[in-house]
Amino acid sequence: MKRSELLVTASLLPIDYALTVIVLVLVYHLRFSEFVSEYLPVLFVLPFDKYFQLVFVAGLIFVLSNALVGLYAIRPKRLVNELLSSFLGGTLGTAIIVITFFFRRDLFESRAIVLFAWIAVVLVVAINHILIRIMQRRMYRKGIGVHRVLLVGGSAGEMSKFLKRSPSLGLVTVQAEIDVPSACEIIPQLAAKDVIDEVFMLDQVGDSEIMQKLLDTCHDNHLTFRYATDTFGARATNMSMDVIGGMPILEIRAGISTSLNVSNTTNISFTFGA
């Protein structure tokens, strides 16, 4: 992972919390405004000082809920997934607050504020994440924080062209190699020069020994290894998947022992260390 990705992810937490607190305060004033009170009569008056104390706890609940649904993933998500996670996080946080107030009715009874808060928090968090991801993608276009990739396999040339047309993905092709043996030879050299971060395996390799050598080479040089899922069946559970250039790509996460089904009859076992 890149420092820029860590910085973006780390900045999302305090920004989301601050925006949530601000928007909850605005929701209170909106609820008791003359305009809203005209259509929704005030049946429960909550002193602002008491509400203000609850706001900080509610903000923490919303942020933790967002984290639980994976909103603070280091790798940028698709826009649709970002919006969905914002909605799920806001909904989960609202549900927790509603359940809490159900057992402690002396704390809070304004259903209108809860409804307004749910809508407002979901919107403000979603907008914040969209703006930050747009900024991150612009950084990618300028070459800041990109992942430098070695492509391996017969589809390397096609994938290289796609990545060049899609700079917002944050993936830059360092070199494209057709066969695995050549890739195994060049990886240590590229790693020593610190010009590579990841290796993409895009085609099937029938020789288990050659494939094992590629995996070991990536491990020895502390590189992320990713492969196309239509290349061979995966039996490892600790993986993450993305779609790049129309091809499903799996990433083997560090620190696990993994078994990959390379062919119908041959399994390859390998271990990635932290």
pLDDT along the chain (274 residues), means of 10: 76 94 93 78 77 92 94 77 91 91 69 89 94 87 88 85 87 84 88 90 69 84 79 47 64 49 36 36
Instruction: Say yes or no: domain 147-272 is CATH 1.10.3470.
Output: no
pTM for the full model? 0.71
Domain borders along the chain are: 3-141, 147-272
* Beta carbons of 110 and 45 less than 8 angstroms apart: no
Closest CA relative to residue 93, chosen from 73, 70, 122: 122
DSSP for 137-200 reads: HHHHHTTSSPEEEEEESTTHHHHHHHHHH-GGG-EEEEEEESSHHHHHHHHHHHHHTT---EEE
How far is residue 247 from each of residues 163, 186, 207, 226, measured CA to CA in Å?
Answer: 12, 25, 23, 12
